[in-house]
Amino acid sequence: MSTLDPCVLKCFNLHRIKVLPTKPDKTQCGKLISSSITGVEEIKDCTYLDEELFLLTNQSEIFHKGREDEDKGRKVKVNGDQGREVKVNGDNNSFSSIYSTDKMLILQELEDKSSLTRMDVTPGRDSSNLRFAYSMPQSISIGKPVTKVSCGKEHVLLGTETGQIYTFGGGSRGQLGHGNLENVESPKLMEGLVGVTMVTMAAGGWHSTAISDLGDLYVWGWNESGQLGFPCNACKHMQKTSTERQASPDKNFHSSSSKASSSLSSHMSDQSKSQAGAVNKSPMSKYNTDVVTDVQEEVEREDVPCSDLYEPDPMESQLFIQDTGAVQVQSEPSIVDLGDDVRVKKAACGSRHTVILTEKNTVLSAGWNDYGQLCQGDTDARDYFESVNFFRKMKLNVIDVYAGAWSTVFVVDDQ
């Protein structure tokens, strides 16, 4: 299977389409969605807010399909006596994408990538008797092209073509990464990452991740369930001291040195180092990591063809436990130490879990796991990143990963 467009995955998950083309693309997905909702023309993108579907059409109109609307889609209208339909910055504007937090819709312009449009959403009934009311559209600009947008429950991450990250929205759990718990109304540069080129980022419910051009994973925000990969009080019963781990007879241990300081130094000039002091000075940024590897059981080779023997992968059964105290909120970006040989290329964040994909296509997961979203074969939360062995054992090559609030989707190729 080829890598799917995010719109395809969003539409499949949100609208419960039962049949998809073998290799669906955004156009095919849009036709499938529009054909099943009365009054909606072919769509360009979609998102959801409070488990309800919002559609962006090719004509840059927004439709809302609520849970009470069986097969109807109705145009979103902004507040006001006229109940006006959404026409942002004139009728000639065209939008490429739509995103949402629990409190706002974000539209990105097709031509001017530096301009976005925000509409605040509040519970209530509008003139169409929908369950939301919408503010007048507001223009957002950071003065440079925005190449990536990711939204959490209350916050928004914006990535630029030069590898910088701007954040705004709710900050009550440190998810904005500015070293405090304050809300921010307009996009603000993350000064703690100045000098580090970020190639991608992802917003979870109340936490955030970013990946540098060197493959380092940076995390910040809420760690209530261990979703940052740092120890947390809620998972305290799962933690062992270093002495206890080393005394375990069924574990094989080796340590990897912290690369938090070296990765920053390799990116920054002396001037940018002083600007990024929040990362260097963070108590979470300098630590040792115990990498725990299960000892593979010996396989009886007698009368078993070599082709049938399972060859363990070096990354199997590894636990990357950060040697720190318990962390509830991490308000500044900090590196997760995965050792010198692990380079991360993708992170997907759910409400309270994180799944990462390495350059060698190994999957690691951490955080809340009540619904099995960590793919570890159980429902135990983890406040450390642990490798997912299922795909290696099934000889499946993971090429992409996406996360819902309480779910995880993998795109795989047969090896």
pLDDT at residue 33, as a whole number: 53
pLDDT at residue 255, as a whole number: 37
Instruction: Please choose, from the candidates 182, 178, 186, 231, the residue with its C-alpha nearest in 3D space to the C-alpha of residue 208.
Output: 178
Average pLDDT over residues 367-376: 96
pLDDT at residue 304, as a whole number: 38
pLDDT at residue 67, as a whole number: 63
pLDDT: which is higher, 107 or 67: 107
Average pLDDT over residues 168-178: 97
pLDDT beyond 60 at 180: yes
Contact 291, 320 (CB under 8 A): yes
Residue located via tokens 């115990």: 290
59 pLDDT tier (thresholds 50, 70, 90): confident
Average pLDDT over residues 272-292: 33
Domains of the chain plus CATH, in order, are 1-141 (no CATH), 143-295+313-415 (2.130.10.30)
Highest mean pLDDT among 83-92, 128-137, 234-243: 128-137
pLDDT beyond 90 at 37: no
pLDDT beyond 90 at 383: yes
Average pLDDT over residues 344-349: 97
Q: Distance between CA 50 and CA 134 in Å, rounded?
A: 14
The mean of the pLDDT values for the chain is: 75
371 pLDDT tier (thresholds 50, 70, 90): very high
122 pLDDT tier (thresholds 50, 70, 90): confident
Q: What 3-state DSSP class applies to 28?
A: helix
pLDDT at residue 95, as a whole number: 87
61: which 2 tokens? Answer: 């109109």
pLDDT at residue 245, as a whole number: 43
pLDDT at residue 238, as a whole number: 55
Highest mean pLDDT among 78-82, 117-121, 208-212, 243-247: 208-212
Query: What is 97-117 written as a DSSP string?
Result: EEEE-SSEEEEEESS-TTEEE
263 pLDDT tier (thresholds 50, 70, 90): very low
Q: Tens digits of per-residue pLDDT, 220-230?
A: 999 999 999 99
The residues near 333 (Cβ < 8 Å, ≥ 6 apart) are: 177, 190, 192, 193, 210, 218, 219, 220, 278, 279, 282
Average pLDDT over residues 239-268: 39
Sign of CA dihedral 323, 329, 334, 340: positive
The fraction of the chain above a pLDDT of 90, given in percent, is 47
71 pLDDT tier (thresholds 50, 70, 90): low
pLDDT: which is higher, 392 or 65: 392
DSSP 8-state symbol, 275: H
Contact 397, 413 (CB under 8 A): yes
pLDDT beyond 90 at 218: yes
Instruction: Please choose, from the candidates 211, 210, 232, the residue with its C-alpha nearest in 3D space to the C-alpha of residue 222.
Output: 232
DSSP 8-state symbol, 234: G
pLDDT: which is higher, 293 or 380: 380
Q: Tens digits of per-residue pLDDT, 299-331?
A: 333 343 433 444 555 666 789 999 889 999 999
pLDDT: which is higher, 412 or 2: 412
pLDDT at residue 134, as a whole number: 82
Report CA Rg, the chain.
23
